[in-house]
Amino acid sequence: MHRKAPRIARILTCAVAVPALFAVAGCSSDSGSGSASGSDGGTKKDQGADTAKQTPSAPPATVPPAKFAKLPDACKALAKKTIEELVPKAEKAAGEPDASSDPEKRRGCSWKGLDDKGQQGSQYHYLTFSMHRFESNPALGTGEKRAEEQVGKNVNKFQGKEGAKDIRSNAVSGIGDQASTVSYGAREGGTDFEHAVVVTRTANVVVTLDYNGAGYSGAKVPASAELMKGAQKAAKEVVASIATANK
């Protein structure tokens, strides 16, 4: 009896332990099933991510580079002879350069002079122009397209100039790739002025030139036709200087 007791005890202990093992196994199985389900879900997510990675994205928009990459020295864009003809007795023969925060994209120059003819009076002339270079931009378009749009804006600005009278505007050829002229009179500082404006585009650069004049001490206001003739001549020289600067 004494020898059998320990043996019976061991059998009972094993009998109790076996259900416990099955219970643990059952829990492990449920847990494993849940884990497997989670693993499948993760696999599906990973597969989705991999599919997304493999889907080719649209290439970034590209536009051709603009033709002109730089601007010339504005005050050297016009010949000395041209300045002497259009602005007699100019205060600064070398011109007054415009202040620009970005001279690679914007430059300009101006000249003014009073030609005193004694008893015949005096005539005042002022010539100013600016150059605005546009670069190609995927979001905004080519440099040429942006410049073309700017021409229209500049022309509209002069056509709607406050105080202007007898406004005449025309599209012209032979000056760059696109050009328009605007003529108008204006009363400035108690004196009558006549303005001749040329807005032209050469590739991706817009040139805006204003040549104007007034008569003092009995002198007549410069003729509109003569001013426009001089303005167009100067605009052609500026356009040519841009091409030369980019050779």
CATH number at residue 239: 3.40.1000
- 112 and 228 part of one domain: yes
The percentage of residues in the chain with a pLDDT greater than 70, rounded to a whole number, is 76
Q: Quick check: 11 pLDDT over 70? A: no
Let me know if residue 66 belongs to a domain.
no
Domain range for 33 is: 1-57
pLDDT of 134 over the 90 cut:
yes
Residues 44 and 157 grouped into a single domain: no
With respect to residue 68, please indicate whether it lies within any of the assigned structural domains. Answer: no
* Residue 51 shares a structural domain with residue 134: no
pLDDT, residue 13, reads 44
User: Is residue 69 assigned to a domain?
Assistant: no
Residue 137 and residue 221 in one domain: yes
Task: Give backbone dihedrals phi and psi of 112, rounded to 5 degrees, phi first.
Answer: -140, 145
pLDDT tens by residue, 208-232: 999 999 999 999 999 999 999 999 9
The single residue listed with the structure tokens 């990973």 is 46
Model confidence at 59, pLDDT cuts 50, 70, 90, reads low
Same domain, 181 and 138: yes
Same domain, 38 and 134: no
Distance between CA 225 and CA 236 in Å, rounded? 17
- 114 and 8, same structural domain? no
Residues 35 and 137 in one domain: no
Domain co-membership, 187 together with 99: yes
Q: Does a structural domain hold residue 67?
A: no
Residue 78 in domain: yes
Find all residues with CB under 8 Å of 155, minimum gap 6, and list them: 169, 180, 182, 199
Does residue 26 share a domain with residue 138?
no
Q: What is the mean pLDDT of residues 136-161?
A: 96
Alpha carbon separation from 104 to 29, 35, 61, 78, 204 (Å, rounded): 74, 65, 25, 19, 13
The pLDDT tens digits for 24-58 are 344 444 444 444 444 444 454 455 545 455 556 65
Asked if the structure places residue 64 within a domain, the reply is: no
| Residue 202 domain flag | yes
| Within-domain flag for 101 | yes
CB 197 within 8 A of CB 231: yes
Distances (CA, A) of 81 to 41, 78, 148, 225: 83, 8, 31, 20
Mean pLDDT of 7-23: 41
Do 104 and 196 have their domain in common? yes
CA end-to-end span of the chain: 119
Please tell me the total count of domains within the chain.
Answer: 2
Same domain, 227 and 184: yes
Whether 22 shows a pLDDT value over 50: the answer reads no
More confident residue, 192 or 28: 192
